[in-house]
Structure 1
């Protein structure tokens, strides 16, 4: 089932920058179509998911063009650019340097990763084609192919991936990780931006974290967990939260590391299907949070946030095996010359970096399992006070979230991951 909360919807609330106009796209179309004559019509559809937070301005641009032979054609592009500093979280987001990182991913790194497979005689694609990327006085803009025109779509985030989807996505992730590891071996370390950790200043004194903590503990007591006090007592303090997050990144040269996608859940994974309904191709989007580190980061987020509830915990170890089997295959194909990690080492790293399991449950899953809600916002989730308390109570006791938490928390407890 496609995700009904389609992120592309017309809205009068979004300010479209004046520079996104016919003149801007005329240059691109002249490069792409030798027979281009003129633009007949240009429509801009903002991506404004009701109540969902975002770090970018995302638009679908649909253009009717006339060719020199008199025939007309329609082209569709996805344009991603930075928020104004004054718009939403724009000022804060733009200091995180995520746009230069994504521009580098589309322009340089992803083509290089795909080239590794091409040299091995395989055609492997990870992302939509980037037609144009520019940085004008610090304003970064990406113009990408519109995967929807090739019948790619997202699954319904509220339902999650079934076993067939998990199998394909895990194998695709293994291909991506293997290529990153081999690229690092051949070319040296990834740029600093891919290894930097962003932690908010004075997190220990953060009123927003304390507000979330209190609301979360109150909600846990209402979920129906057997002996809920042991879970409430294990929820990390701000100090434990920061220390655990930081410990997920280390420079141990003996550990197998990869280039993680960093935001690896169903809305950033697009799939196409055959006429019989089988999965055909898989593509990833949104490469702003890529990070060099243990593959446990992407694996935890995928399984916790996007595996269907009925299989998430029951097949957890099996998912790691699917990934590992294909990872080994890909590393050998790409002639990785260092020691290939064993399956048991990967299982051990999932426990060592198990904080990602708690982190994604506490942060991302809350929003992912929230049905479309025009009132939902990250600001409300984090703001102290009555309005914030009401919203947090709503999301933390959302029946879909509670159902997941009732199986995830005992699983984390059994593996010692909640022993902060």
Structure 2
């Protein structure tokens, strides 16, 4: 049974007409005789919802002169929020739409080619781009579900087999991006410095603080966690953006690359074999990709997507696994920069540890939300009765309370909830 969605569903854009789609299909298939016979659109909300864009699935049926048999396929269309949508008002400050169009049009095809030809890995790394339309801030790409790619369950999270596969593919992605930057100096110089924390905008600040305040309210009635952590969360409300921006600063000798920036279960997909073992993983949704340390991807991934025993007990081992895969890929790609030692990379990972705080306490509870309220950025930003009810309900479920009883002490032991 599909998961119930409590997320706001946006209608398909008005410009997504049969004539428009036919034109794009003709270009994509390089066939001017293509005739679109049928177009059906429907919302395409990823497992757990999508807070950063409008996703529409288009089902098409068409003929060509060469083949009179009807062809049918599907694509996904990713577009911005409508005018005056509060989510769009936040995201526009981060350049997410132009950056993702650049990535799908210029960056990903080159990285995919490097992975295939130089790393000798024939498996896909991303969904292929069908069209980028800058006038309409939209991207059309192949529907990976046609090849039986699926997102993992955001509630069950990933076991070790799936985790290793994601880390292996992530290492290839990071290695290829670093080498691409060497080969094409300046390719990531513009518009790749605006992750959730940056020196240009704090538009996400209200989202962070509103949810932390809701967490604080939930701790007020928690006899076990409240006395230990409420005052720390209250202090964090005022400092989260400062600490977050400090986390993004690079130190001399750091290994840097294009980080995905939003790496959780909804933003990668798995293809399985007949015995339901994962054989490949691809990455999607590059709106918050940023030139920074790969450690921010690791912290985000560990905090939001791993089963608890892996995150709490095997983190250093997983960093080691990723590191060896990264070094192997860098050497195959003939990376000329300095590769840090494992010890140095573990320190780099630890120095970015605050990144796991907002992922654990702000983002993950929303990602896991399964309540009755409409879930959207608009609700998080709103001080209305409905908005406050949603934010409070995020932290009211027994699953989240149980999770916090583990997560808060885990973060606290590293000093991540104290003054930094």
Scaled by the length of structure 1, the TM-score of the pair is 0.88
Distance across 1 between alignment mates of 2:208 and 2:130: 41
In structure 2, do the counterparts of structure 1 residues 382 and 224 end up closer, same or farther at CA, with 3 Å as the change threshold? Answer: farther
SS in structure 2 at match of 1:363: helix
SS in structure 1 at match of 2:232: coil
5+ residue gaps, structure 2 = none
RMSD: 2.8
Distance across 2 between alignment mates of 1:354 and 1:289: 19
In structure 2, do the counterparts of structure 1 residues 164 and 406 end up closer, same or farther at CA, with 3 Å as the change threshold? Answer: same
Paired position in structure 2 for 1:361: 360
1:94-243 aligned at under 5 Å gives the runs: 94-120=92-118, 122=120, 123=122, 125-136=124-135, 139-189=136-186, 190-196=188-194, 197=198, 198-200=200-202, 211-223=210-222, 225=224, 228-235=226-233, 236-243=235-242
In structure 2, do the counterparts of structure 1 residues 88 and 231 end up closer, same or farther at CA, with 3 Å as the change threshold? Answer: closer
Scaled by the length of structure 2, the TM-score of the pair is 0.88
Give the Å deviation of 1:224.
Answer: 6.0
Distance across 2 between alignment mates of 1:115 and 1:6: 36
Distance across 2 between alignment mates of 1:51 and 1:332: 37
Paired position in structure 2 for 1:77: 75
Paired position in structure 2 for 1:25: 21
Given that residues 149 and 269 in structure 2 are in contact (C-alpha distance below 8 angstroms), is that contact kept between their aligned partners in structure 1? yes
SS in structure 2 at match of 1:40: strand
- Structure 1 residue 60 corresponds to structure 2 residue 57: yes
Distance across 2 between alignment mates of 1:5 and 1:281: 27
SS in structure 1 at match of 2:56: strand
Distance across 1 between alignment mates of 2:119 and 2:203: 48
In structure 2, do the counterparts of structure 1 residues 115 and 174 end up closer, same or farther at CA, with 3 Å as the change threshold? Answer: same
Residues 286-336 of structure 1: CA deviation (Å, up to 9, x unaligned):
111001111121111111101023432122222112111211111111111
Give the Å deviation of 1:96.
Answer: 2.8
Give the Å deviation of 1:152.
Answer: 0.5
Number of residue-to-residue matches in the alignment:
410
Paired position in structure 2 for 1:279: 278
Residues 59-78 of structure 1: CA deviation (Å, up to 9, x unaligned):
11001112334211101111
SS in structure 2 at match of 1:292: strand
5+ residue gaps, structure 1 = none
